[in-house]
A and B are shown apart, each in its own frame.
Chain A
Amino acid sequence: MNRLCPQEEVLSAYLSDALSPSQKIQVEKHLIKCRDCRVLLLDTHKIINTVDIHHLFRQILSFLKTNMFFFISFISLSLSFLFSKYFLQFLTASILFGSKWIVDIKTTKTLIMVQEALKPGEKKNPTEETIDHRDRS
Chain B
Amino acid sequence: METELLLKRCINKNRNAWKEFTRLYTALIRKSVVYKLRNLGVFLPKIDMDDIVQEILLSIWEKDKLSRIKDIKSLQAWLVMISINMTLNYCRKHVFRHAKDLESLDAYISDNDEARSTLKDFLSGNTVPAGETASFNELCQVINSIISGLKARDQLVIKLNIYDGAKQKDIAKIMNLPISTVGTVLSRAKKELKRQLEIKWDF
Contact = CB atoms under 8 A, between A and B. Distances in A.
Interface of A: 1-2, 7-13, 15-19, 25, 28-29, 31-36, 38-49, 52, 55
Given A8-B85, A36-B109, A55-B31, 4 more contacts: A28-B153, A29-B152, A32-B159, A35-B163
A40 B84 contact: yes
Contact of A43 (B35, B111, B112, B152): B35
Interface string B67-92: 01111011111101110110000000
A20 to B, nearest CB: 11
Contact of B32 (A28, A38, A47, A55): A47
Interface residues of B, number: 42
B4 interface: no
Nearest to B36: A43
A12 B77 contact: yes
Contacts of B152: 25, 28-29, 32
Contact of B164 (A15, A42, A48): A42
Residue of A33, A39, A55 with highest tally of chain B CB at under 10 A? A39
B12 interface: no
Contacts of B128: none
A32 B111 CA distance: 10
Interface of A is mostly: helix
Interface stretch (B47-55, B129-137, B166-174, B189-197): B166-174
B75 to A, nearest CB: 8
B35 A15 contact: no
B36 to A, nearest CB: 7
A12 B155 contact: no
Contacts of A43: 35-36, 39, 80, 84
Interface of B: 27-28, 31-32, 35-36, 39, 68-71, 73-78, 80-82, 84-85, 109-113, 115, 152-153, 155-156, 159-160, 163-164, 166, 170, 173-176
10 contacts: A8-B78, A8-B81, A8-B82, A9-B70, A11-B81, A13-B71, A28-B153, A28-B156, A32-B159, A35-B113
A52 B31 contact: yes
A10 B170 CA distance: 19
Given A25-B152, A40-B81, A55-B31, A35 B111 contact: yes
A16 B166 CA distance: 18
Nearest to A39: B164
Contacts of B73: 16-18
A40 B85 contact: yes
Contact of A9 (B74, B109, B173): B74
Contacts of B111: 2, 33-36
Contact of A45 (B68, B70, B174): B174
B68 A9 contact: yes
Residue of A19, A33, A47 with highest tally of chain B CB at under 10 A? A47
Contact of B74 (A1, A15, A36): A15
A92 B138 CA distance: 80
A18 B81 contact: no
Contact of B80 (A18, A25, A34, A44): A44
